[in-house]
Structure 1
Amino acid sequence: MQRPSLLIVFLAALSGAAGVALAAASAHISNAANLETASRFLMIHAAAALGLGALLAAKLPLARWLGGASFALIAGVALFSGDLAARSFTGDRLFPYAAPIGGSLTIGSWLALAVWALAALRAR
């Protein structure tokens, strides 16, 4: 595996671990809906990022596009989930609009992956 794909796998593993930790924390905190949402997002997108790391390792067409979308997906989920977790633990946001920015980045990343798939299909 090349460095970018290994880095994506590393970040996916951290995301999965954070998701499990937040799920455990949510069991011990009252009114933990934000933690449950953050946990779910982290774990689902960790699995997706693992798949993206494998795709990137396969050296498919337009790999830079795929890599950029993969890193953007991880960053978006980290911002979104991090903001929800910060609100649950401290009552404060990471920074103004962190969750909407993270959510928008995540949505945009999924759309970028769809565009990449079509472009890679046409390149074959």
Structure 2
Amino acid sequence: MHKLFLIISSISGILAVGLGAFGAHALKSKLETEGTLDIYQTAVQYQFYHTLALLGIALLMTKIESQWLTYAGYSITLGILIFSGSLYVLCFTGMKWLGAVTPIGGLMFIAGWLCLLMTAIKSL
């Protein structure tokens, strides 16, 4: 399972850097005009923070055997897809209703961190 999360975190890291650079250079004037630059930057930041968390989970899985780590990995992955993904789509399409979906991704991030906490509690 750790290989899966290592692969996902690697791909997410590549996308976060690429999307961040793309937004800062190629899309900056378009996003500023539409007032969505801050939203786009939030999507990139949260994607990157949680990509690093997912990488940490993958590395922990090589040392600690815990179902909670697996739950954490899936929760963080879903959080990236739902939270950052909905914000990216909102920026590119202007579909404002996606703002209602974004908090679900935030809840997945919280669930992932709670699962990581459970790993620590159960493993110590």
The TM-score, its normalising length taken from structure 1, stands at 0.84
Distance 1:33 1:78, change over 3 A: same
Gaps of 5+ in 1: none
Gaps of 5+ in 2: none
TM-align CA RMSD: 1.7
Q: 2:80 & 2:90 partners in 1: Cα distance?
A: 15
Distance 1:18 1:119, change over 3 A: same
Corresponding residue for residue 69 of structure 1: 72
Deviation at 1:24, TM superposition (A): 1.5
Corresponding residue for residue 50 of structure 1: 55
Q: Percent identity?
A: 30
Corresponding residue for residue 20 of structure 2: 23
Corresponding residue for residue 87 of structure 1: 90
Deviation at 1:98, TM superposition (A): 2.1
- Whichever structure has more helix as a proportion of its residues is 2
Q: How many residues align?
A: 116
Q: Which shows bigger deviation, 15-24 or 95-104? A: 95-104
Corresponding residue for residue 101 of structure 2: 98
1:5 maps onto 2:2 in alignment: yes
Deviation track 1:15-66 (CA, whole Å, cap 9, x = no partner) reads: 11121122122212333111111111111111111111011122x24x2121
